[in-house]
Structure 1
Amino acid sequence: MTKPLLDTLRATLAGLTVAVTALAAPVHAGERNTSLDYAHATPAQQRLVDDLERRTFDWFWDSADPKTGLVPDHYPGESFSSIAAVGFGLTAYGIGVERGYVTREQAIERTLATLRFFKDAPQNASEDDATGYRGFYYHFLDMKTGKRFDRGVELSSVDTTLLLGGVLFAQSYYDRDTPKEKEIRQLADDIYRAVDWRWMQARPPLISMGWTPGGKFIPADWKGYCEGMLVYVMALGSPTHSVQPAAWKAWTSTNDKTWGTYYGQTFLTFAPLFGHQYSQAWIDFRGIRDDWNREHNLDYFENSRRATYSQRNYAIANPGKWTGYGADVWGLTASNGPGDVEDGGRAFKGYSARGAGLDYVEDDGTLAPTAAGGSIAFAPEIVVPALDTMKQRYGKSIYNRYGFVDAFNPSFHDADATLRTGRLVPSLGWVDTVQLGIDQGPIVLMIENWRSGLVWKVMRRNPYIRKGLERAGFTGGWLDEAPRKP
């Protein structure tokens, strides 16, 4: 396996297994989501967001293989496929229809190609001749063969879940009485029903992070607030292999240990912002509450809004004295970085789950625009100015045909270093040269959720999502209403 892939796999697993912790202080009245909505944004702000949404959509449309629907992990350049990126792509295609980027027929054809591939892909316990097993899929797939990319790649419960986010979006979005849209709905149903969530419960009632033919189940489970929220909702909603509600109770059982105050906000922590964004890109948690929410008098959406403010406050304080940090330049999450090198006595990393919270702090001066962009639905009043400032200040180097590059680091200037990815820009520092699908996804989905609520509205209509939330104990808000079309 190549070193970059090993870096990615190790960093991904590290990001998944980080302990969770929590933060903050009372919400200041002035910071309440007063909130900037798209209709009241300035024309310049609207143009900024419109342009970013279109460019980010184009990344998915241009990078995906039109025959299989496989979306690369990173692009431009040669890459393996990330099944999570496929899930974001399937959702982006519906957004593209609504925005007029592509026709409905174009999106249908791309979606059908994708779903047909995953429905028919080989599922078995072999090391090298499978795309998945027991309804789950390998984290990374070969872009040409569609099979497991490498023996170091795990059968991933969370990445399968993110793929299913797009699958179920397609099931509910393509609702017309035509042969092709009927086929989309049936394929989506078949793919979702095939996932054997109970088998993935190596240590019930929790769900394992994954499995490999050689090593069997990964010795780590989804427990504690993180992107695993969507794993449990999907597993609870299954009509064929559902887990018991005790799984949700077990997942939330450590929440009180990770609830506290960090940089001016009180909330349930997960240091990298992707842990707040991934589940909520598809599910509207505004106004719905589980038992833990009711005890703490907030919903998970409000929790993530506070997490977003906390990250901005951290950047303003800038305890690490990194170059560029401030009120409108901030954002730590899982992303690329310069590499595992030192510069000026300071350590830098390649791909890593960067973040700042009570659970941990990992900050090497690398900023990821998706950390802010993917949080636009939570706190647009601070996100839009951040996107604008980063584009204005660094746009020549970090903003291109497909929107923001994955990450940049104004503190790194070692011209002799062997970079993992990216390039050095003398007047700026390290700048990535690619975008990652799992970082592009939150940007385009959450921009649309902020603008129209499209993804949330579509997913509200999905009976499996609704069932999963109800079995987890969520009540209130839109769950108390009859499903409606967007």
Structure 2
Amino acid sequence: MKLKYFIPIIALLGSCSVSKTSNQSKKLTDDELLTVIQKQTYKYFYEGAEPVSGLSRERYHSDNVYPQNDKDVIATGASGFGIMGTIVAIERKFITREQGYAHLKKGLDFLAKADRFHGVWPHWMLPSGKAKAFGKNDDAGDLVETSFLAQALVCVRQYYANGNEQEKALAQKADELWKGIDWNFYRKNNENVLYWHWSPNSGWKMNFAITGYNECLITYIMAACSPTHGVPPEVYHQGWAKSGAINTNISLYGHPVKLKHNVVGESVGPLFWAHYSYLGLNPKGLKDKYADYWEENKSHTLINYDYAIANPKGFKGYGKNSWGLTASYSVKGYAAHMPNEDFGVISPTAALSSYPYAPKESMQVMRHLYEDMKDKVWGEFGFYDAYSETANWYPKRYIGIDQGPIVVMIENGRTGLLWKLFMSAPEIQTGLTKLGFTYSK
């Protein structure tokens, strides 16, 4: 796996107040608690948005350990998640329809003028719209981050397709933006695989072929579905699926796994692999010759749950109320937490964003964090990114790409809102059929 989200630990100047636990919080119904969590978390993408673009900051720190000198950095993938969250916020009436439209228009207007590289946005952008280097030779087009954003643009188009004249115009802009992505160029001279990066300064020097299984299924789906720059099925089957080598047949804690995760040994990767590609792409009933994607994601989730109960390393607090390993801040700086790389750190987004797959188990975590640990783990934008009871470590920090799936996946578990929008797009239906997928309609 590529540690795409390595982030140094730095913090934002100033501090914000944290709500105190109250008896009232324990009286919330499940539905009320879900709404409170969605509403508070969405604030990251609205009140906490980068002000010039209206898009998502890469991160935001509420503590005062070090000055945060990058609070203006815009994250492409997290912005896509925030755009989808805005649709949730409109429907849940966290903001008005007029506020949601204005917020989305601001973001899409920015994206239309920002740096693109054969239609592909960079991982990071500055308020000027210029690319900001993520790393050496990673200073331009980022196909994976762009695919997370493209997924959101399709949802915006579908959401506003039958709106008023202004909303229809915004739908048209979303349509133009995603259709402008040249997926074929990122095959590097028509190879049957997609490449993560390209730069006008260093070309293909990163040389990172995207092959499964990790968080990048949506990259191949969007590439195959594009009506303007669509890739042929061979790119998916030979590249992503590695001519069938993507398959395995293992069982962990009694849960079968048919897709070979890009990790060392026979195990599963961080839980965000069950989230990022499925914010719009509905895994319910989604199958191809390699997997039943609902069953795979459900297994991935329950392996994490059972692993925390087994707690083989004896970490404090692990159990049915505190589980979920994914990429996040860590006691070791930043880490892609998973059973094979566990440092005693729980990331709330892991269990919360898994709500569709394991609603009872996910609710146990929500209720425990909100009712029993709120003073330590809850802030102005919902639950902080990560914590460790073993290390007595409770940093007051957020990462956009972790906050976004909470809002969207909880909503998908409740109403299927984003799944319905994305799957209703005719290009998506055509592309999935082209790749040999079957799915529930």
Query: TM-score normalized by structure 1?
Result: 0.78
Question: Residues of 1 paired with 2:211 and 2:251: CA distance?
Answer: 21
Report the CA distance between 1:448 and its aligned residue: 0.6
Structure 1 equivalent of residue 83 of structure 2:
90
State the SS of the aligned residue for 1:310: helix
After superposition, the C-alpha distances for 1:35-58 in whole angstroms (9 at most, x for unaligned) are xxxxxxx95222221110110111
Report the CA distance between 1:256 and its aligned residue: 5.0
Q: CA RMSD in A?
A: 2.0
Relative distance call for 1:409 and 1:105 in structure 2 (3 A) is: same
State the SS of the aligned residue for 1:259: strand
Structure 2 equivalent of residue 362 of structure 1:
341
Structure 2 equivalent of residue 382 of structure 1:
361
Question: Residues of 1 paired with 2:41 and 2:323: CA distance?
Answer: 20
Question: Residues of 2 paired with 1:272 and 1:61: CA distance?
Answer: 27
Relative distance call for 1:14 and 1:99 in structure 2 (3 A) is: closer
Instruction: Spell out structure 1 runs of 4+ moving beyond 6 A.
Output: none
Relative distance call for 1:102 and 1:408 in structure 2 (3 A) is: same
Structure 1 unaligned segments of length 5 or more: list them: 1-9, 16-41, 122-130, 294-298, 339-348, 413-428, 479-486
* 1:49-448 alignment runs, 5 A limit: 49-76=34-61, 78-121=71-114, 131-142=115-126, 144-150=127-133, 152=135, 153-154=138-139, 155-202=141-188, 204-217=191-204, 218-250=206-238, 251-253=240-242, 254=244, 257-267=247-257, 268=259, 269=261, 270-293=268-291, 299-338=292-331, 349-356=332-339, 361-412=340-391, 429-448=392-411
Report the CA distance between 1:369 and its aligned residue: 0.3
Relative distance call for 1:468 and 1:337 in structure 2 (3 A) is: same
After superposition, the C-alpha distances for 1:441-484 in whole angstroms (9 at most, x for unaligned) are 11000111111111111112212222221221112421xxxxxx
Report the CA distance between 1:400 and its aligned residue: 1.7
State the SS of the aligned residue for 2:256: strand
After superposition, the C-alpha distances for 1:395-432 in whole angstroms (9 at most, x for unaligned) are 211012211100011122xxxxxxxxxxxxxxxx1112
Question: Residues of 1 paired with 2:209 and 2:43: CA distance?
Answer: 35
Report the CA distance between 1:73 and its aligned residue: 0.7
After superposition, the C-alpha distances for 1:49-73 in whole angstroms (9 at most, x for unaligned) are 1110110111111122454222101
After superposition, the C-alpha distances for 1:83-111 in whole angstroms (9 at most, x for unaligned) are 11110111111111110111111111111
Counterpart contact for 1:66–1:110, Cα < 8 Å: no
What amino acid is the match of 2:317? Answer: G
Counterpart contact for 1:57–1:96, Cα < 8 Å: yes
Relative distance call for 1:151 and 1:367 in structure 2 (3 A) is: closer
What amino acid is the match of 1:351? Answer: Y
Report the CA distance between 1:257 and its aligned residue: 4.6
Question: Residues of 1 paired with 2:270 and 2:439: CA distance?
Answer: 28
Structure 2 equivalent of residue 456 of structure 1:
419
Counterpart contact for 2:50–2:72, Cα < 8 Å: no
Question: Residues of 2 paired with 1:316 and 1:379: CA distance?
Answer: 15
Report the CA distance between 1:173 and its aligned residue: 0.6
Query: TM-score normalized by structure 2?
Result: 0.86
Question: Residues of 2 paired with 1:92 and 1:363: CA distance?
Answer: 29
Question: Residues of 1 paired with 2:187 and 2:39: CA distance?
Answer: 40
Question: Residues of 2 paired with 1:161 and 1:386: CA distance?
Answer: 30
Relative distance call for 1:133 and 1:222 in structure 2 (3 A) is: same
Question: Residues of 1 paired with 2:202 and 2:422: CA distance?
Answer: 35
